[in-house]
Amino acid sequence: MNLRSEPARPVTSAAEPEKVGAKAWSVLLVSTLAFLVCFVVWMMFGVLGVQLRDELQLNSTEFGLLTATPVLTGAIMRLPLGAWTDRFGGRIVMTTLLVVCAVPVYIVSYASELWQFLLIGLFLGCVGASFAVGTPYVARFFPPSQRGFAMGFFGAGTVGAAVNLFVTPQLENLYGWRFVPRVYAVALVVTAVIFWLGSARDPGAGKSGGSLLDSFKVLADPRVWRLCQYYSITFGGFTALSLWIPQYLKAEYGMSLVMASAFAAGFSLPGSILRAVGGVLADKLGAHTVTWWGLWVAWICLFILSYPPTDFVIHTIDGQAALHISMPLFGFVAVAFVLGAVFAFGMASTFKYVADDFPTNMGVVTGIVGLAGGLGGFLLPILFGILLDWLKIRSSCFMLLYGIVWVSLILLYLSEVKRTSIFGEPTV
């Protein structure tokens, strides 16, 4: 038996944060920039579509389809791009995506019929899948205790929705709408160069093991589908409302497109910038706590926004008394701000779940969860348009989201709070 004593090794306190190198911060910054630019392009039909609606004589359903079409391919492509990121690395996949997508974005400037916009929109929508590339790529440069922050910071690139609301109408007013996609195509190419120079080799590329088909086996885990449900309302609702609110404000409050887009940023900005805050909260409080309470606040906000302008006639002993209820503009902006903030927290907490539960398959899981969120962002604007054409009530979009959040809270209670076996977990 060897009784020699060995020198004591320094022990790092669990409370002491692990140091992050300059390379990791560089990757985080250029990845966030790339995602921001992609999100601007992905959301541009939300603004351009308002003028195209008049130019092409579209009804509400057709308008919803126009704005949502890019979201469809942005959703569908998240799964394969997430898998390719696990296999080939985020640096290669993101650079390729930026350069390739510049082509259909530029071609938009030559479209003149609805079917042309829909067809090209399917191709340019691939930029929306950049989220499934950047999220696992960025996370692999940070220790587990800081991944919530890193992914939340990267996710703040959804501020591109707000940038789109400010920049696109200004360019459209000055140079015409056909100038906008040309500028954005150039921006994608320039961003690809910046990203390549500031990024680094993906340390997790090719480490998932097995074939590409094997990496998809994680989708059999019921926890993955639970996360899909959370993200379909937080990100899907955020994306759908970012596309829908400019025309809602224009119609409901009689604003110009520029003014409506500026006020719509009151929803988009917090839904973007505060994702980093949501990531920090998820690191400290846990993903479940942030998701649970965030959905409750969203439920309250959507209940308030759902109520349409209403006139009541009350029969009193002295005759009739009229009562008018409506949401003032400042009230709408304030409630929308809170709604955007809690959606941001929910988006960040969902991917804290992913990083904690699926560290070796983050690309694939990010892809399928992002696919669910993207499909929500695709279907909801179309449903908004159908409801508006059917009910003739503009706040029907918030009524629909209110019902979805209510269902989400019930499922979250059954699966997490009560710990039933509905999602394959043991009953506690």
Spatial CB neighbours of 382, under 8 Å, sequence gap ≥ 6? 61, 64, 65, 68
CA angle 379/385/389 to nearest 5° reads 145
- Determine the pLDDT at residue 33: 95
Strand partners of residue 315: 320
190: number of CA atoms within 13 Å, CB side?
8
CA gap 35, 53 in Å, rounded:
28
Q: Please say whether the beta carbons of 68 and 189 come within 8 A.
A: no
Residue 238 covered by a domain? yes
Residue 220 covered by a domain? no
Pairing of strands 319-325, 310-316: antiparallel
If you count them, how many residues does the chain have? Answer: 428
Q: Report how many helices (DSSP H) and strands (DSSP E) the chain contains, helices first.
A: 19, 2
DSSP symbol at 5: P
- Write phi, then psi, for 11 (nearest 5 degrees): -105, 130
Residue 190 structure tokens: 């320039």
CA gap 367, 218 in Å, rounded:
12
Residue 420 structure tokens: 């039933």
Residue 97 structure tokens: 């995506």
Picking from 130, 129, 133, 127, the residue whose alpha carbon sits closest to that of residue 85 is 133
CA gap 121, 118 in Å, rounded:
5
Residue 412 covered by a domain? yes
Residue 211 covered by a domain? no
Residue 358 structure tokens: 């699926």
Residue 12 covered by a domain? no
Domain of 293, in residue numbers = 22-204+225-423
DSSP 403-419: HHHHHHHHHHIIIIIS-
Residue 229 covered by a domain? yes
Spatial CB neighbours of 355, under 8 Å, sequence gap ≥ 6? 139, 144, 147, 148, 151, 362
- Determine the pLDDT at residue 210: 56
CA gap 279, 276 in Å, rounded:
5
Residue 428 covered by a domain? no
Helix/strand/coil (H, E, C) string of 289-330?
Answer: HHHHHHHHHHHHHHHHHHCCCEEEEEEECCEEEEEEECCCHH
Spatial CB neighbours of 365, under 8 Å, sequence gap ≥ 6? 82, 218, 224, 227, 354, 358
- Determine the pLDDT at residue 305: 93
Q: What is the pLDDT along the chain (428 residues), one digit of tens a residue?
A: 444 444 444 444 444 456 767 888 999 999 999 999 998 998 888 888 888 888 888 888 888 888 888 888 888 888 888 888 888 888 999 999 999 999 999 999 999 888 999 999 889 889 988 988 998 899 888 887 788 788 888 888 878 878 888 888 889 888 888 999 999 999 999 999 999 999 998 887 766 555 556 666 777 777 788 788 788 888 888 888 888 888 899 888 988 877 888 888 778 777 677 777 887 888 888 878 888 899 999 999 999 999 888 888 888 888 888 888 888 999 998 999 999 889 988 888 887 887 777 777 777 787 788 788 888 888 898 899 899 989 999 999 999 999 989 988 887 787 766 654 434 443 33
Domain holding 61: CATH number?
1.20.1250.20
- Determine the pLDDT at residue 124: 87
CA gap 328, 340 in Å, rounded:
18
Picking from 392, 90, 58, 72, the residue whose alpha carbon sits closest to that of residue 239 is 72
CA gap 229, 386 in Å, rounded:
23
Q: Please say whether the beta carbons of 347 and 278 come within 8 A.
A: yes
Q: Please say whether the beta carbons of 54 and 179 come within 8 A.
A: no
Dihedral of alpha carbons 235, 408, 375, 357, sign = positive
Q: Domain tally for the chain?
A: 1
- Determine the pLDDT at residue 427: 38
Residue 216 covered by a domain? no
